């Protein structure tokens, strides 16, 4: 059976590693976890997973990344894959970017860095429960 995916996107590798540890501790082997260091890399992963018919349940994305900003990335993804749940995890997003993501990407939630582990896991758990 193919496990569904949670994709994390952040240009800081140490934060991706922290997310991996927290997701693994909270959800174990229930999901596959994919990690990308940019929006472009994430889009390649999404295309590959889609080609292989692997369901992508959620994207947790940073906002401030080189190349494409998180709100632009999530809006792009929403247009192609509207059923993927989108969460922004950021220390630097401006209010306009968050509002754009809420309006045009159906952003589920925006959490601020440094994040609270319990809040992050509860956000993910509640979002997945609605699927």
Q: What residue segments make up the domains of the chain, in order of their start?
A: 5-129
pLDDT of residue 93: 73
pLDDT of residue 1: 80
Q: Where are the beta strands (DSSP E) in the chain?
A: 5-9, 32-36, 56-61, 85-90, 109-112
pLDDT of residue 94: 85
Average pLDDT in the 58-74 region?
96
CA distance 73 to 95: 16
* Contact predicate 38/65, CB 8 Å: yes
Confidence of residue 130 (pLDDT cuts 50, 70, 90): confident
pLDDT of residue 51: 96
| pLDDT (tens digit per residue) in 24-61 | 999 999 999 999 999 999 999 999 999 999 999 999 99
pLDDT cut 70: percent of the chain above it:
100
The yes/no answer on whether domain 5-129 falls in CATH 1.10.3720.10 is no
Tell which wins on pLDDT, 15 or 91.
15
* Contact predicate 54/5, CB 8 Å: yes
If you average pLDDT over every residue of the chain, what do you get? 96
Provide the whole-model pTM: 0.96
CA distance 5 to 95: 29
Residue count of the chain: 131
């Amino acid at each position: 059976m193919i496990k569904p995916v949670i994709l994390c996107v952040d240009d800081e590798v140490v934060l991706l590693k922290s997310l991996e540890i927290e997701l693994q501790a909270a959800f174990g082997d229930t999901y596959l976890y994919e990690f990308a260091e940019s929006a472009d890399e994430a889009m390649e992963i999404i295309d590959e997973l889609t080609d292989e018919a692997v369901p992508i349940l959620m994207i947790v994305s940073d906002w401030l990344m080189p190349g494409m900003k998180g709100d632009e990335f999530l809006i792009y993804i929403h247009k192609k894959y509207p059923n993927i749940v989108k969460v922004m995890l950021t220390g630097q997003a401006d209010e306009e970017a968050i509002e754009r993501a809420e309006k045009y990407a159906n952003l589920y939630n925006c959490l601020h860095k440094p994040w609270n582990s319990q809040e992050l896991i509860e956000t993910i758990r509640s979002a997945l429960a609605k699927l």
